[in-house]
């Protein structure tokens, strides 16, 4: 067995953030910035929608403190920054005929320039927070014919404006969450509960992704020289035991979590298990749609956090293919320590299995775009105690070792790792309660304080990424 040593010299590593989760400095500052309302502004104002009653317009004030944040990333040793661009900050009303907010353009230009000045490679995602105006006009992602040209125009503007400096693009981040949590379970904006809407929304997102990506590949890549793809959330599904029914159930869970989006993009079809279960509720691709989907993602963007054990025992969770998700083993043990959130356990060996699955099934380079941990009770700690985040250090120790084995032993083509998150932030419906940051944020003063995990994670990559001529040690 040939074992390489370390990561290649062009490996990207650092931290990830999302615009809506960190940019806001308060209602007045956001109004002054010219950002339009997103569906998350509306959702936050719905009584009981956000656990702690906080609002997406006041998070970490990255809009004002981006220079401090980028300098901090650089001082910690990062070589890249994965961020997102807010659609309503650039085009407040969102549509293809709507005006541009020049203050938003200035902010993202300055942010990108600051990255480059500090030696950080900018890695940009262009979608998460849908402009409220588009939802009001036609229902947002529920109207494919309207949203695809609006999103494509927004994407074009991003490439034209920032593509001379941004060479790594993501069209979408975690569309599963938009479809299931936003339109199926009602936990995320816009708060709809339906067993019809999620499949329609996902189909619209897939086609919007494809049009935006092909626009870049065909018209901007030849001169700008970058690459573009989509990033999907999906955790490893481990069969509860080696019985055929549980092995089959685990694959069905992977189909519904990952294959729903990845199979159409990389393989040209929806997973058969989804077709069998959903029937006519699952939209059918036209010949034209399949043509634009083909080769529309130049890599696989991977957001992953945990692993579940999967049983064939029928549940009522259609979004998990009616499988039963758990964390227990046949011997009564559990597969990993608890976090602050019920869905998240520390299971580092699952990462290596997932990466091998993705590489074998989709045959694309992999960019790991999110991976992180949330410690129980961290939000109530004093800053000097919160920075001693041993649980997060332990998580990153396990997952980076698993990543290293996937590169060195399994010889997988993995090109980045971004810890989630750079800073404590607005965790969507959970508000400001759960903390995923490797940098502590005081939500009253916006003061930043690095935690032990920030130093560990960046030191790990500084030691393991090749330094000479961009060629991995041992090659």
User: Could you please report the per-residue DSSP string of 87-134?
Assistant: HHHHSTT-STTSPP-HHHHHHHHHHHHHHHHTTPEEEEE--SS-BHHH
* Residue 174 appears among annotated catalytic residues: yes
Q: Which one is catalytic: 23, 30, 174, 408?
A: 174
> What CA–CA distances, in Å, run from 359 to 156, 237, 364, 414?
30, 16, 6, 9
- Round to whole Å and give the CA distance between 112 and 57: 22
- Round to whole Å and give the CA distance between 48 and 169: 35
Q: Burial level of 381, CB count in 10 A (0-12/13-18/19+)? A: middle
To the nearest 10°, report the CA torsion of 313, 316, 322, 327: -60
* Residue 370 appears among annotated catalytic residues: yes
DSSP 266: I
In Å, the largest CA–CA distance within the chain is 61
Q: Which one is catalytic: 370, 378, 408, 427?
A: 370
- Round to whole Å and give the CA distance between 231 and 364: 13
Strand partners, 168: 123, 227
> Are 448 and 439 a contacting pair, CB within 8 Å?
yes
Q: Tokens 């353009």 appear where?
A: 105
- Round to whole Å and give the CA distance between 100 and 106: 11
- Round to whole Å and give the CA distance between 203 and 225: 29
69-97: burial string, b at 16+ Cβ within 10 Å, e else: bbebbbebbbbbbbbbbbbbbbbbbbbee
Estimate the crossing angle of helix 144-162 against helix 197-215, to 10 degrees: 30
Which residues, 6+ apart, have CB-to-CB distance to 466 below 8 Å?
6, 7, 8, 9, 11, 472, 473
Which residues belong to the active site? 174, 370
């Amino acid at each position: 067995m040939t074992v390489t040593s370390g990561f290649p010299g062009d490996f990207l590593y650092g931290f990830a953030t999302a615009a809506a989760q960190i940019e806001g400095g308060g209602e007045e500052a956001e109004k002054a910035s010219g950002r339009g309302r997103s569906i998350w502004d509306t959702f936050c104002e719905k009584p009981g929608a956000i656990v702690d009653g906080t609002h997406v317009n006041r998070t970490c004030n990255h809009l004002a403190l981006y220079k401090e944040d980028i300098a901090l990333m650089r001082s910690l040793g990062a070589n890249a920054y994965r961020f997102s661009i807010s659609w309503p900050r650039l085009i407040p009303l969102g549509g293809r005929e709507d005006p541009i907010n020049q203050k938003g353009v200035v902010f993202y230009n300055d942010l990108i320039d600051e990255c480059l000045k500090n030696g950080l490679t900018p890695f940009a995602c262009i979608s998460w927070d849908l402009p409220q105006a588009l939802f009001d006009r036609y229902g947002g992602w529920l109207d494919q014919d309207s949203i695809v040209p609006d999103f494509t125009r927004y994407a074009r503007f991003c490439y034209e404006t920032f593509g001379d400096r941004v060479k790594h693009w993501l069209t979408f981040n975690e569309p599963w969450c938009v479809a299931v949590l936003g339109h199926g379970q009602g936990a995320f904006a816009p708060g709809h509960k339906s067993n019809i809407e999620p499949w329609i929304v996902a189909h619209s997102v897939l086609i919007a992704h494809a049009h935006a990506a092909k626009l870049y590949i065909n018209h901007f890549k030849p001169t700008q020289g970058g690459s573009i793809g989509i990033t999907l959330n999906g955790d490893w599904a481990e069969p509860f035991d080696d019985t055929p029914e549980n092995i089959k159930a685990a694959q069905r869970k992977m189909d519904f979590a990952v294959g729903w989006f990845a199979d159409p993009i990389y393989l040209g079809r929806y997973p058969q298990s989804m077709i069998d279960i959903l029937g006519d509720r699952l939209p059918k691709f036209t010949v034209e749609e399949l043509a634009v989907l083909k080769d529309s993602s130049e890599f696989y963007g991977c957001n992953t956090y945990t692993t579940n054990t999967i049983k064939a025992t029928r549940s009522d969770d259609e979004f998990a293919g009616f499988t039963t998700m758990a964390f227990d083993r046949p011997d009564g043990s559990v597969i990993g320590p608890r976090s602050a959130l019920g869905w998240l356990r520390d299971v580092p060996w699952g990462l290596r299995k997932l990466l091998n699955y993705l590489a074998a099934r989709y045959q694309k380079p992999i960019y790991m775009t999110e991976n992180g941990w949330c410690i129980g009770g961290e939000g109530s700690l004093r800053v000097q105690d919160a920075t001693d985040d041993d649980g997060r250090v332990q998580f990153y120790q396990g997952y980076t070792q698993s990543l290293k084995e996937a590169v060195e032993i399994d010889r997988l083509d993995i090109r980045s790792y971004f810890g989630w998150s750079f800073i404590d932030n607005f965790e969507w419906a959970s508000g400001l309660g759960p903390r995923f940051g490797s940098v502590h944020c005081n939500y009253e003063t916006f003061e930043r304080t690095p935690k032990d995990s920030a130093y560990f994670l960046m030191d790990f990559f500084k030691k393991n990424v090749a330094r000479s001529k961009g060629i991995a040690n041992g090659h």
